[in-house]
Amino acid sequence: MLKISLDKLGSLFDAIAEKEALYIPADKAGQPQYMRYQTGMQMTEALNTVRSAKDFFFPQTENLVNFKVSGKTIEIIDPRTEQEDFVVFGVRGCDVRSFSILDKVFLVDPIDTYYENRRKHGTIVSMACTRPSETCFCHTFGIDAAEPEGDAVCWKTEDALYIKANTEKGEALIEKIRPMLEESDDSAVEAQKAATREILGKLPLANFSTEKFGGDVLLKAFNSEKWASLSEACLGCGTCTFVCPTCQCYDIRDYDTGHGIQRFRCWDSCMYSDFTLMAGGQPRLTQKERFRQRFMHKLVYFPANNNGEYGCVGCGRCLSKCPISMNIVKVAKSLEGDL
């Protein structure tokens, strides 16, 4: 185990940022979000960012291709510039797991090269949780908040930051900052893990489970009469989908620049009235069907297609942020009796 004293954290960040782009969770106008590190920037004290870390690999909007029209010729222009190497520091266990869920969507045939490119150039340094919230249920999906996944993992104690590599990328990063780190035993880390796991066991959702869901109950879940009342108060906004680390639906549209076309993609939300709108019409006519899509996708369709893995990491953002406080936990608890 390697460690660095917390009062040297700033110089550690400076050292990483000197070699590659570094992003840390920091407060902007009172809200925690990932920001490109600049000397002096402090990490947020908040448990997690409002927006998840998926933006690094799957940004809210991006240009895919440009077309330039002149006379009878159309020039096709790839707008991508070379992707720089970057480090995302301080990612929580839930968000780290979300990357492997997104991988199952974007890195299967046909591989999404935009996403793949960013994944290749990004190094994830995770941060163990010490003060989980009542909305946390990552343990439901086998995630250990006390020892998250990631290329490298950190534990922050009162006076030091401990770091350990999990992958070659993580080792390469630690190699670059090795002179600043000192050897240490892991007693402080083990003590923190034990304390955090004890808290995790006391959380109100400690025993929450989604195991009744999956591909086997597709029709039962789909046809449940409860969707009507569950979705009744839904505003049809996109908050849950946009703060969600695993929501991955997008729309592709053309923007007419007057002298060509910019083809871009942007996050879409199944909660929106024009979600999957086609020439033939809208297959999900009311908010009930759109609402159902979101939860069926995470609890039934995704596990059906991915060996039982659910499309949720239990980060709790939708529990905190939904304007009407409707969320995957309430939906799962309400439906499980029917399955």
Q: Is 286 helix (H, G, I), strand (E, B) or coil?
A: coil
326 binds other proteins (CB under 8 A): yes
- List the end-to-end C-alpha distance of the chain, in Å, as a whole number: 46
123: β partners: 87
Residue closest to 308 by CA, chosen among 214, 168, 172: 214
Q: Provide, for the chain, the percentages of residues in helix, strand and coil under a 3-state DSSP scheme, each rounded to the nearest 5.
A: 40, 20, 40
- Is there a contact between 334 and 67 (Cβ–Cβ < 8 Å)? no
Q: Which of 117, 133, 184, 282 binds other proteins (CB under 8 A)?
A: 133
Asked whether position 29 contacts other proteins by CB under 8 A, the answer is yes
Of 19, 28, 36, 178, the residue at the interface with other proteins (CB under 8 A) is 28
Least distance CB 327 / other proteins (angstroms)? 8
The answer to whether the CB of 98 falls within 8 A of the CB of 149 is: no
How many residues interact with other proteins (rule CB under 8 A)? 55
CA atoms lying within 13 Å on the CB side of residue 74: 8
- For other proteins, the closer CB: 241 or 293: 241
CB of 65 to other proteins, least distance (A): 15
Distance CA 289, CA 282 (A): 11
Q: Does 249 bind other proteins (CB under 8 A)?
A: no
Q: Could you give the CA distance from residue 258 to residue 272 in angstroms, rounded to a whole number?
A: 28
> Which of these ranges, 138-146, 156-164, 197-205, 303-311, lies near other proteins under the rule CB under 8 A?
197-205
Position among 16, 243, 299, 331 found at the interface with other proteins (CB under 8 A):
243
CA distances from 39 to 14, 31, 43, 178 (A): 6, 19, 12, 20
Q: Which two tokens stand for residue 200?
A: 């995790």
Q: Which stretch binds other proteins (CB under 8 A): 25-33, 98-106, 146-154, 181-189?
A: 25-33
Neighbours of 147 (CB within 10 A): 20
Stretch that binds other proteins, among 35-43, 109-117, 185-193, 313-321 (CB under 8 A): 313-321
Binding mask 33-72 for other proteins (x = CB under 8 A): x-------------x--xx--------xx-----------
Site for other proteins in 214-233 (CB under 8 A): 229, 232-233
Binding residues for other proteins (CB under 8 A): 28-31, 33, 47, 50-51, 60-61, 131-135, 199, 202-205, 229, 232-233, 235-239, 241-243, 251, 253, 255, 264-269, 272-274, 277, 319-321, 323-327, 329-330, 333
